[in-house]
Amino acid sequence: MHEPAAVPAPAAVPAAVWKNSGRLADGREIIYFDESPGSGRAQVRDTRDLSDEAGPATGPESGIRWDPLAGEWVVIAAQRQGRTFLPPLEQCPLCPSRPGRPTEIPASDYDVVVFENRFPSLYGAQPGPAGPDGAAAAQAGSGGTPEGVGGTPARAGGTPAGVGGTPAGAGGTPAGAGGTPAGAGDTPAGAGGTSAGAGGTSAGAGDTPSGRDSLTARRPPTGRCEVVCFTADHDSAFAYLTPSRARTVVEAGADRTAVLGAMGGIRQVFCFENKGEEIGVTLHHPHGQIYGFPFVTPRTRQLIGQAAAYARSGNGNLFDDVVASELSAGTRVVARNEHWTAFVPAAARWPYEVLLFPVRRVPDLPALCDAARDAFCELYLDVLRRFDAVFGSQPPYIAAWYQAPAGGTATRNDFGLHLRVMSVRRAPGKLKYLAGTESGMGVWINDVVPETAALRLREAR
């Protein structure tokens, strides 16, 4: 049966998206996001014999291990070594199937399609009870619902100090995890107050082993990895999608965020795109990925911790204030519209790095209203085309969505959804490598001045 994933408001520009799911030969789920009803694609059978596929390795060599020195989980995924690596065009597994040449997508055409990764780093999460505090349950089924999903009022500032805050040591995070500086003078915001929570314990006690257990802590790689194909056209790229196709991709991301976030064991949904061989992309076909992690990621913990510390020291919402501060400075703003602002962050790490924030703060993709979804597509396509114009060709980039954790009730309303686009290219033909200071010390050295990068992007069309 066809089940509309989104009911558009009467004024919505793009049509509704129809979501239909089926199964591949080895049981993996495939979900078609169709731009018109009645395609019948989900009913097309996968004719491949995948019965001798090894499947994800489940031995002790794979899994998630705790790094007690850094206070972070590391995913060991040995089975991924066998994955498809830069196949020739005629063997692309993301193109639609043709007679005699079946691919991962059994249908002969598609708009946007999502399927479970054949070589997943994380797998086995099942629909079921959500994270410990159950907030993900509130998201379940909210996929693509416009306006107000999750009941998050866009409340500018006004976060009472302490709300969502992280008492030092709560949950037993190893001391100093996540960059707790020695000495208040090191960190600009609220001396003293910044330490607690910077490592982000707020995300739930189960996430962080402590004491001697932390020396050998491991857990199964429970989670989910999905692939999102943006178009059936092998030679296209996100930057060249139509706004309505980009909108269908956003619908798919919102749907998967809600569905995966409601699965048992998943604490964080991450939608992203790696673009270009230089980033390590193994398939050229335009696609992104969605990971459902069984823990809150270090970057998210950091964002939550910083926002909590900022609020505790008597300020409003950190995400709101960062955007307001960029707008008021103006020198790093790249482009904006009624619903979104794109700017190079003042302390950009990558040579070309742009953050896109909605004007009305929301915690995640499902909470974006219809108008904001449309406006995002307009601005994001504009920003990507500016990247192309600066380099004279499509640069390699990483696009990463930062969303509130699934089930993070305490912090959900204070989190600010945003997209970060980062190009590893410094100049035509020159790449930025994560070398000694970045890989060894976590200190980034960027030799492109952010204001200059913003100016080039602003002027590039």
Q: Which residues bind Zn ion (CB under 5 A)?
A: 92, 94-95, 234, 285
What is the rounded CA–CA span in Å between residue 460 and residue 386?
Answer: 5
**Out of 234, 284, 285, 287, which one is annotated catalytic?**
287
Shortest separation between residue 401's beta carbon and Zn ion, angstroms: 24
Query: Annotated catalytic, 287?
Result: yes
Is the Cβ–Cβ distance between 416 and 357 less than 8 Å? yes
- Give, in order, the Cα–Cα distances in Å from 412 to each of 123, 200, 284, 379: 25, 14, 35, 25
Between 52 and 90, CB nearer to Zn ion: 90
Bridge partners of residue 358, in order along the sequence: 340
How many Å is the maximal CA-CA distance in the chain?
67
Shortest separation between residue 87's beta carbon and Zn ion, angstroms: 9
Between 236 and 337, CB nearer to Zn ion: 236
Shortest separation between residue 425's beta carbon and Zn ion, angstroms: 24
Between 285 and 386, CB nearer to Zn ion: 285
Between 234 and 426, CB nearer to Zn ion: 234
Is the Cβ–Cβ distance between 325 and 304 less than 8 Å? no
Between 110 and 123, CB nearer to Zn ion: 110
Shortest separation between residue 235's beta carbon and Zn ion, angstroms: 8
Look up residue 114 and give its amino acid.
Answer: V
- Smallest CA-to-CA distance from 166 within 312, 295, 269 is with 312
What is the rounded CA–CA span in Å between residue 369 and residue 254?
Answer: 11
Between 94 and 259, CB nearer to Zn ion: 94
What is the rounded CA–CA span in Å between residue 40 and residue 48?
Answer: 19
What is the rounded CA–CA span in Å between residue 189 and residue 194?
Answer: 7
56, two tokens: 């994800």
Shortest separation between residue 243's beta carbon and Zn ion, angstroms: 22
**In this chain, which residue has its C-beta nearest to Zn ion?**
92
Between 234 and 385, CB nearer to Zn ion: 234
The bridge status of strand 397-402 relative to strand 352-358 is unpaired
What is the rounded CA–CA span in Å between residue 451 and residue 461?
Answer: 17
Between 273 and 364, CB nearer to Zn ion: 273
Shortest separation between residue 380's beta carbon and Zn ion, angstroms: 22
Shortest separation between residue 223's beta carbon and Zn ion, angstroms: 26
- Smallest CA-to-CA distance from 7 within 361, 241, 238, 255 is with 255
Shortest separation between residue 91's beta carbon and Zn ion, angstroms: 9
Rounding to the nearest 10 degrees, give the CA dihedral for residues 278, 283, 288, 289: -100
**Beta-carbon contacts of residue 297 (< 8 Å; ≥ 6 apart):** 268, 270
Between 89 and 427, CB nearer to Zn ion: 89
Shortest separation between residue 42's beta carbon and Zn ion, angstroms: 20
The catalytic site residues sit at: 287
